[in-house]
Structure 1
Amino acid sequence: MQQNAIEGPRWSCRSRWTCRPVFRGIFLSLGVAVVTRFTTVLFGFAAVLFYSAYKLRNGEEETHGPGVSGLPPESSGEGATMGP
């Protein structure tokens, strides 16, 4: 591909207004195809989002933090092993 320092590559649009409708149409049609193909998965994601929003709104929190991890306390450090 030839490129002129002033004009840019020859395949570029002459102005940004001519490319926008083309790319908008391409991405819109791809988005519609993805949504129609994976509708069930999207409903699953929506259910997770609604459940998380419900928990946040009602103040139900899980206890997480540096002191509450559910793991047994570490030994003194020397000779500690990973496993039984």
Structure 2
Amino acid sequence: MDQEISAACIGLRQMQVGQRARICRVEAQGELGRRLRDMGLVPGTEVSVIGRAPLKDPVALRLRDFTLTLRNNEADHIAVTPL
């Protein structure tokens, strides 16, 4: 079953504006991993992409009744399953 879940996961950066997904894993370690978890980016959380800057960085996300922006290099550490 874990292989099926992994196969369905894509990088958060690959999502389009307006698309919804559920976080399947956060691959960051150390300080960055702790910061992402502290911001609410934990497996099982539903997120939606609500916008991107003109040069595609950063990305604006909506989760748990608040808006969060992430740089692409931070978003690269988050894998999601599109809904």
TM-score bracket relative to the smaller structure: under 0.3
Q: Which has the larger radius of gyration?
A: 1
Structure with more of its chain in strand, by fraction: 2
Q: Which has the higher contact order (CA 8 A, sep 6+)?
A: 2
TM-score, normalising length: structure 2 = 0.19
TM-score using structure 1 length: 0.19
